[in-house]
Structures are given as C-alpha cells and as structure tokens.
Chain A
Amino acid sequence: MQHINSGDTAWMLVATALVMFMTPGLALFYGGMVRSKNVLGTIMHSFIMLGVGTIVWVLYGYSLAFGPDKFHLIGDLSWIGLRDVGMAPNANYAATIPHILFMAFQMMFAVITPALITGAFAERIKFSSFLVFMVAWMTLVYSPIAHWVWGVGGWIRNLGALDFAGGTVVHINAAFAALAAVLIIGKRKGFMKEAMHPHNLPMTILGAAMLWFGWFGFNAGSALTSGGLAAVAFVVTHIATAAAALGWILIEKIKTGKPTTLGAASGAVAGLVAITPAAGFVGPIAAIAIGFTAGIVCYLAVGLKFKFGYDDALDVVGVHGVGGIIGALLTGVFASTVINPAGANGLVHGNPALLGKQLIAVAVTIGYTFVASFIILKVIDAIMGLRVSEEDEITGLDLSQHSEIGYALGGFGGGTLEHGASGSVFQPETSSEPSYAMQTNPLNERL
C-alpha cells in the first residue's frame, strides 16, 4: 500500500505543473479581453492568487478540505501547516504517489478556482477588497465544497454524485460566486452604452491555448495514476474541446454571420469546462455530444447578461457556470462503468438515479456558493467598499491600483525619473530620444 510507483508519480508531477500553468494562462485569457487600461489589474487578479491561494492552502486550506472528516461537512485541522502530509502515500486519496504530491495537485485547483471568479468583476474592483474576498472565499466556500465532493466522508461524495475533475467544485462554484459578485458590485461605468472591446485578442488566444494545454493535467491528472483512466480522460478532454469550439462558431455563424476568433477560443474553454466533471466517466462519442452542446448553449448563455443587465464582464457565469452545469448533468446521462468501474452508469445506460444525484450536487453547490459569496461580499462592502471610485475606474485599474501601465509602445517616454527605490532624487531632464516607434498607438489609452 505504501509503495510509490515512479510512473504514476512522474505523471502526477507533470500534471501538477500543467495545472499550475493554467493560472498564468487564465491571466492572459482574461487580460486580453479587457480594455488596455485594465490589462495589468486583470492579470494581477489571477497572478496574485498563485501567491495567496498557495499560502492559504498550505497553512490550513488543505486540512479543511481533505483532512479527517467532521460531520461530513468539513475536514478538521489535524493537517494544519501540512503536518503529517509527507512523502508516504495517503491510500484514501492516491495510493501510489507521495501524499505531498496529491496535496500539491489539489493546491493548483484551489489556486485557479478563485482566479476564475475574477473575470466577472474585472475592471472595477478595489485591489485590497479583492484580496480580502479571496481569502475569505477560499476558507468559507472552496474548502467546504471541495470537502463535500472529494473529501473522504464528504456528504456529496457519500451520496454518489460524480465529479471527475471539478465541474461542481471548480466551475459551478466559481461561476455562482461570480454572479453574486456582479450583482453586488454593479455594472462597469458605460456598460451597454460604450464599446468595450477586447484590447489584445492574440493574448487571449495564447491564454486559451495555455488553458487547453494545462487542462490535460487538470482532467487526465485527476485519474491520479498514469494508466488507462488517464488516457481516456485525456482523449475525451481533447474531443469535447474541439467539438465545443466548432459548436460555438457554428451557431455564431448562423446568428451573426461570421465565425470569430474570440468565439472559437471561448467555445474551446466552454468545452473544457463541460467535459471536466465527465472526463473519467464517459467515452469519446459522449464527449462529442457534451462538447457540442456546451459550445451552443454557452454561446446562448453569454447573451443573457445583456438581456438581464448584469455585467459579468468576461462571461464567467455563461461559460463556467452554464458549462459546468451541462457537464455535471450530462455526466448523469452518459456515465458508464465500462469506462470507469469506480464510477456509475448514467441515464442512457439504464440508471436514471445518477442524474438525480447530479442534480442535487449541482443545486446545492449553486445555492451554497451564491448565498455564502453574497454574504461575504456584503460584509466586505460595508467595511471597506468593494468598488474603486469613479475616477479610478475611468483612469483604469493599472494606474489607479498598481501605478503601472501595461504597454509603453509609444516613443514618448515623456516622464521624469523621480527617484529609485533608495529615494535618491535624480535631476529631471526631458527626453530627447527620437521616437522612431509609433507616436500614438491604439493600444495605449492611459489617462
């Protein structure tokens, strides 16, 4: 039982690195879609979660989520600060790899989930309030839900609902926290009046590609071994993504006349989301059905924000929420014990009960995360305010929250070095450098 398998360990080390790589990927995916005055603020939301999320997880998050069960609701604090989480495997979770590696793999999930939320309140949240929300959310929402679904003794796990790699824990969870956030924080100034173009779509495509690449670790790594199950999860991940990208641009073509690059990237992410809960339970044909459905339905879902007037800036609800629900429910339809004997059969294999369990898991996750996030945000709003001032919003988060600008492609420079970190003041001297680069550039709308 305590035997470490070098092949499994090799795969899980790589898978963990792949999932880590998704968070910078997400930073770019989101960063490209905002206006250029907010590119760094948006990137920072994801990037700083690598820091904050990891530390919270190591200090107590892992213990709360995966530690010895209390009342089927939460882990206890016996693994606090990674006490007893060492080189020997934990047979309950992954019998052939070091326990510390399982912890690290889960850590990357705990990092990216809160980062997903940030797309909803992009371009207007105060950085300090954002940090407080993230720490509170990881503690009060992510850790409990991860325990319910994945922790030994967790009540949803005991119920028999299936979530291979995080449809409920990661995607639905993040998306409905995102919905709560946009309802409280409100619309961006100018939403539905001004054009809010993505400022750098190649960057978004790069981010989507990094997400797709990393998702192989996310889904196939959730097999926790490098065998047949990982291979199946890997293959269906790819198939569903491809189908969803095609589904999205197909309906886009029908509805608006042209297939867009951003649509293809969004469709791919929707497919990745939808296949996540199903990856280790369904076969390739089911994956096509899941992916294609996700591409079409998520396309329609992202339009809802304009109908109902909530400003989910980067479509976290439409893509991750709706995609996660589709994936979780279709797992109840298509799951097969032929693919994974440790899973269950779904509706098409003669077991309608699974779909009911999936529904319960989805509904409970939505209800808990929405209400809990709503309360946390209300409290933070009352204490320190969630939103930047109107002037800061117009200026952009990059300058107002971080004193930086994303791009200096123009030749002006135009500034004066005030002082270095040592505080020594240099004599100002105007820049006489010939500006051979673009003099005014469309990417640089700093104010």
Chain B
Amino acid sequence: MKKIEAIIKPFKLDEVKDALSSIGINGLTVSEVQGFGRQKGHTEVYRGAEYTVDFVPKVKLEVLVDDNLVSQVVDTIMDAAQTGKIGDGKIFVFPVEDAIRIRTGERGSDAM
C-alpha cells in the first residue's frame, strides 16, 4: 500500500481527477497549497507599492493505492498534469503502514 502525493497546477485538477477515475481510482483528497520551486512568482501592485510574490498556489492530491497500481497511477497523473512548462509540479510516493475505514473498522486494502 502506497500513498501518492502529487503537487500540480490548480487548473489541471479536473483533468487529473477525470484521468484517475477512468483507471478506476475513485477516492482522493485534495488541498489547496502554496509553495515555491523553480517556477517564478508574480508581481502585484497596490497604489504603487510593488510586491514580488514568490509563493505560487498549487493543488496537492493524495491517493492511496495498492502497490501494483503505483506506476499506472503515477503515469496517469503525469500525463494529465503535464504542460511541459516550468511549474508542472512533483509526485511523491510514500509507503503506508495501514489504513482503517472508520465506519466499519476494516483494515488494509479492504479499507481503500
């Protein structure tokens, strides 16, 4: 069992979500986050005061999958989220010790 965490461009969320459901992934968690990497920030101007804002808004996706699905899910996210420009984001894969469905108490793959 692995957790796949992807930081992507916000406007790519729908495409990624659709691509994931087309390969049978039917649950995920999304948060809006901000951060910086190689992508430059932007400039904002308020009454002549100019700001360089270097935190860029991104969306963080978290999906829990069985080990055998990891490479397929990673490829799917990559295909859907790619624009080829700086700032497309990153994908991280973590091992997960256990998962529990609160309603039933099921564990492991059954809880997914």
Contacts and interface: CB of A to CB of B under 8 A. Distances in A.
Chain A bound to chain B? yes
Interface of A: 190, 193-195, 394-395, 399, 403-405, 410, 412, 414-421, 440-442, 444-447
Given A193-B14, A403-B45, A418-B43, 5 more contacts: A399-B42, A404-B45, A412-B55, A417-B50, A421-B47
B46 A421 contact: no
Nearest to B32: A440
Q: Find the residue from B10, B32, B41 having the highest chain A CB count within 10 A.
A: B32
Contacts of B51: 415-418
Interface string B29-69: 00111100000011111111111111111000000000000
Nearest to B47: A421
Given A403-B43, A418-B50, A194 B55 contact: no
Given A417-B51, A420-B48, A421-B48, A445 B32 contact: yes
Given A412-B55, A420-B49, A399 B44 contact: yes
A414 B54 contact: yes
A415 B10 CA distance: 20
B57 A444 contact: yes
Interface residues of B, number: 25
A211 to B, nearest CB: 28
Contacts of B9: 447
A446 B54 contact: no
Interface string B3-20: 000000111001000000
Contacts of A405: 44
A404 B46 CA distance: 7
B48 A414 contact: no
Contact of B56 (A190, A441, A442, A447): A447
Contacts of B48: 420-421
Nearest to B46: A404
A405 B57 CA distance: 13
Contacts of B56: 447
A445 B47 CA distance: 22
A414 to B, nearest CB: 4
